[in-house]
Structure 1
Amino acid sequence: MSLYLDIAQRNAVLNTMAQLINTERNTILEVNKRDLEAYNGDDLAMYDRLKVDDAKIDGMILSLQQLAGQEDPLGLERFNFTHENGMQVSNKTAPFGTVLIIYESRPDVTIEAAAIAFKSGNKILLKGGKESLQSNLVLVNFWHKSLEQHSISKDWVTYLEFNREQTQAFLEKPTQKLDLIVPRGGEKLIAFTKKHATCPVIVSGRGNNFLYIHPKADLKKAMSIILNAKTTKISACNALDKVLVDRELPNKEAFIKDLIAELKAKKVEILVDNSLAKTEGTSEITGEESWFEEFLDYKILIGEVGSTEEAIEKINTYGGGHSAVIVTEEEQEADLFMNSVDSAAVYHNVSTRFTDGGQFGLGGELAISTDKLHQRGPIGLQHLVTNKWYVKGDGQIR
């Protein structure tokens, strides 16, 4: 197998994939229906991620088309230097090599995340969850058909049909070269991967996102943002989990009452801290564990803080390092919040649901990293590269 595919080959495979997925739309839906019927769990987020519909298929196609239209992320010169002895030194972007993506219940990862890694010149290993096996195998078969159509080895995309014990053994002692691992799923999957992996791991997927309502907030904006961030997709890592209301918020009691009514209408369970313990229609939390929890459910926790600084401290203590919002009309307070909160994405008067590679103009994402090395937040095409030093001379010695 060739270790390098030029940009024309990579783009041709992506365009063929887009055509195949559109042509085989009904096949994908039928196979996914079997996965859904076989799923016997009660995890709403898992079921939502497992389900493939026409909108998700449209998203897969769009992602492939956008990636095929983007510039080559490889061979970009980052640094150039002429040594005093005449040799030319440059640094250019290069592929990682082999990227393993371990994921739960999301067949679209088999297309979108793999396509980003492929466009970046990497060989792909996919290890999906058992609940989405049939959907994943069909989609991997499309990868293989697309590769073969362009006379490229099927080994560029490989599906690992491993159980938990086999996966652990592979992580600890890989049977082939492995350069980077990206776990896409819940905290248990991430912890399992980090514990057993012997190569770099990009931590992705944990949310626990906070929103702070400052006294100078536009309450109409606050209401709209909270409802959008909490209820439009509970299975997303960019969904909202916690709301911090400033004690000095004008009309605070009336706003909280209206907010609870709106959330209840959308079947959201309301938890509160002791400052709001007597609020009708809510349940008081008994300890601080709930502040750490990512709900991935129709559930939200509302509490009070005394200032922007207290909100920042609370978010930096309990938040997942993913996304955080301040709702305020005061720019200075927004700047303080955005510069001080330790999250990959910080927002002023905007829903957390925009933390997404496509929404940020990256043409999709491999993952949303809450690590600070080597890339934070949505990891797009241009981030899934490492670098290489190129030194040219004429017999120079040191």
Structure 2
Amino acid sequence: MKLLSEEKKNAVLQSMMDYMEKDKEAIIAANKKDLEAFDRDDQALYDRLVVDSAKVDDMIRAVREVKNQDDPVGKTISDDTLENGLKITNKTAPFGTIMIIYESRPDVTIEAAVLAFKANNKILLKGGKEAHNSNEELVKCWHKALKDNGLEEDWIQYLKMDRATTQEFLRNPDQPLDLIVPRGGEKLINFVKEHAKCAVLISGRGNNFAYVAPDADMEKVIPVIINAKTDKISGCNALDKVLVDKNHPDFEGTLKKIESELSNAGVKIIASSDVIDKLDTNDEIKDENVWFEEFLAMKAAIGAVDGLDDAIETINHYSGGHSNTILTENEADASKFMEQIDSAAVYHNASTRFTDGGQMGVGAELAISTDKLHHRGPLGLKQLVTNKYYVLGNGQIRK
């Protein structure tokens, strides 16, 4: 594929910012059509769908951040000369064409595409039907920015396809396709994994846990749990489960305090059989599958574990491998927890809500990957490249 200069890519991004500012009212008006047609029964999905003036400003800010970052393509990873004289240089290179399949969130049309474009990839956007009007208005901005800078519109394509057409496209794409990033729930992710013929990078579900150790400082526990649970329920980094250690010297009091504070914040509490008799809630967890669920709602599960090892085993079994936190004053226990918990991000005495490209210093992100290849955690600009070996010789042959 054609490699664009950093100057050319940045010129497109500057035009993109200008058009989003100029067309802000049209973008918001298009989003209003989507909101009016949406069933508000799914509050988390509705929240993701909303585009107001502040959200457009956030999109512009995301484009500016990416524009100001260094071009990630063509960077030298290693440079060696072998005994036989071969000079081998490993450099970063574009993937090629990246398809992004996402639900509801129109800001993905900007924030994901801008990263893929700056990394010199062509982008195929397959947004959810609930955001068609918003997405189409935003893609118009992309196409105007590309055209103004002498580039074809096919650098960023918006695909309007139903489920059956999407399935067929994944199986038999009508153009080169190098990587697919599904952003959404487990049903979407499984659908893409089942039908895609190229690499799929999983932007995984949350289902995040907080483990409250016997020596946890409640002055830290309550603010962390409340923030992780209530700050943004639609975020994949939101908290779903709280596990309190049975060895806590005030086990029952700690359970009651956590329940009370969450309830006061408007969170519905469900509980395991071994703690429900100590709580006010009567909503007992009778189906083990609940522990695997990502709630995306003002809902939290409270349970108990017997020691650090039990906490680690429980979390590794049930969590989505996204973000998990330990609340303890014991540095050794915190270190063991963070080393042995198998997730993209692990925390000590901090809210899981920090698993975010901007919060972690990565900048705008394409997704939060829970895959182990090729990268886990926030996928920023530097992670949206692959690599290529350049081998320079002078007639060498292998013997």
What TM-score bracket applies, with the shorter chain setting the length? over 0.9
1:241-262 Cα deviation digits (max 9, x unpaired): 0000011223332332232222
In structure 2, the residue matched to 1:50 is 49
Counterpart residue type for residue 153 of structure 2: K
1:328-351 Cα deviation digits (max 9, x unpaired): 111111001000101110000110
Q: How many Å separate the matches in 2 of 1:329 and 1:127?
A: 46
In structure 1, the residue matched to 2:122 is 123
Does the 8 Å contact 2:44/2:297 carry over to 1?
Answer: yes
In structure 1, the residue matched to 2:97 is 98
In structure 2, the residue matched to 1:324 is 324
Between 247-256 and 37-46, report the one with greater CA deviation. 247-256
Does the 8 Å contact 2:31/2:51 carry over to 1?
Answer: yes
Counterpart residue type for residue 369 of structure 1: S
User: Are 2:319 and 1:294 aligned?
Assistant: no
CA shift, 1:55, in A, is: 2.8
Counterpart residue type for residue 218 of structure 1: D
In structure 1, the residue matched to 2:343 is 343
Q: How many Å separate the matches in 2 of 1:14 and 1:218?
A: 47
CA shift, 1:114, in A, is: 0.7
SS of residue in 2 equivalent to 1:244: strand
CA shift, 1:220, in A, is: 1.6
Where do 5+ consecutive residues of structure 2 fail to align?
none
1:367-386 Cα deviation digits (max 9, x unpaired): 11111111011111111111
In structure 1, the residue matched to 2:392 is 392
Q: How many Å separate the matches in 1 of 2:18 and 2:114?
A: 14
Q: How many Å separate the matches in 2 of 1:205 and 1:53?
A: 27
CA shift, 1:122, in A, is: 0.3
Q: How many Å separate the matches in 2 of 1:227 and 1:183?
A: 29
Q: How many Å separate the matches in 1 of 2:283 and 2:120?
A: 51
User: Are 2:8 and 1:9 aligned?
Assistant: yes
Q: How many Å separate the matches in 1 of 2:53 and 2:258?
A: 33
In structure 2, the residue matched to 1:284 is 284
Between 46-55 and 29-38, report the one with greater CA deviation. 46-55
In structure 2, the residue matched to 1:352 is 352
Q: How many Å separate the matches in 2 of 1:13 and 1:275?
A: 58
Q: How does 1:258-277 map to 2 (within 5 A)?
A: 258-277=257-276
Does the 8 Å contact 2:270/2:281 carry over to 1?
Answer: no
CA shift, 1:326, in A, is: 0.2
Q: How many Å separate the matches in 2 of 1:108 and 1:205?
A: 18
Q: How many Å separate the matches in 1 of 2:84 and 2:314?
A: 55
CA shift, 1:265, in A, is: 2.3
Q: How does 1:132-151 map to 2 (within 5 A)?
A: 132-151=131-150
Q: How many Å separate the matches in 2 of 1:86 and 1:310?
A: 55
User: Are 2:305 and 1:305 aligned?
Assistant: yes
In structure 1, the residue matched to 2:160 is 161
CA shift, 1:267, in A, is: 2.1
In structure 1, the residue matched to 2:39 is 40
Q: How many Å separate the matches in 2 of 1:248 and 1:362?
A: 38
Q: How does 1:64-213 map to 2 (within 5 A)?
A: 64-213=63-212
Does the 8 Å contact 1:98/1:180 carry over to 2?
Answer: yes
Does the 8 Å contact 1:212/1:245 carry over to 2?
Answer: yes
Percent identical:
56
CA shift, 1:103, in A, is: 0.3
Q: How many Å separate the matches in 1 of 2:56 and 2:329?
A: 39
Between 217-226 and 261-270, report the one with greater CA deviation. 261-270
Q: How many Å separate the matches in 1 of 2:92 and 2:301?
A: 44
User: Are 2:240 and 1:238 aligned?
Assistant: no
CA shift, 1:82, in A, is: 1.5
Structure 1 200/112 Cα, relative in aligned 2: closer, same or farther at 3 Å? same
In structure 2, the residue matched to 1:378 is 378
Q: How many Å separate the matches in 2 of 1:117 and 1:233?
A: 26
1:187-214 Cα deviation digits (max 9, x unpaired): 0000000000000001113000000001
SS of residue in 1 equivalent to 2:389: strand
Does the 8 Å contact 1:209/1:324 carry over to 2?
Answer: yes
Counterpart residue type for residue 392 of structure 2: K
Between 14-23 and 376-385, report the one with greater CA deviation. 14-23
Counterpart residue type for residue 195 of structure 1: E
Does the 8 Å contact 1:64/1:115 carry over to 2?
Answer: yes
Counterpart residue type for residue 16 of structure 1: S
SS of residue in 1 equivalent to 2:200: coil
1:51-93 Cα deviation digits (max 9, x unpaired): 1123322221111111101111111111112133433211100
CA shift, 1:322, in A, is: 0.4
Q: How many Å separate the matches in 2 of 1:256 and 1:146?
A: 55
Counterpart residue type for residue 181 of structure 2: V
CA shift, 1:26, in A, is: 1.7
CA shift, 1:27, in A, is: 1.6
In structure 1, the residue matched to 2:365 is 365
CA shift, 1:8, in A, is: 0.8
Does the 8 Å contact 1:269/1:282 carry over to 2?
Answer: no
CA shift, 1:41, in A, is: 5.1
CA shift, 1:216, in A, is: 1.2
Between 279-288 and 251-260, report the one with greater CA deviation. 251-260
SS of residue in 1 equivalent to 2:249: coil
In structure 2, the residue matched to 1:19 is 18
1:289-331 Cα deviation digits (max 9, x unpaired): 1100111111100001111111000000001000000011111
CA shift, 1:282, in A, is: 4.2
Structure 1 242/149 Cα, relative in aligned 2: closer, same or farther at 3 Å? same
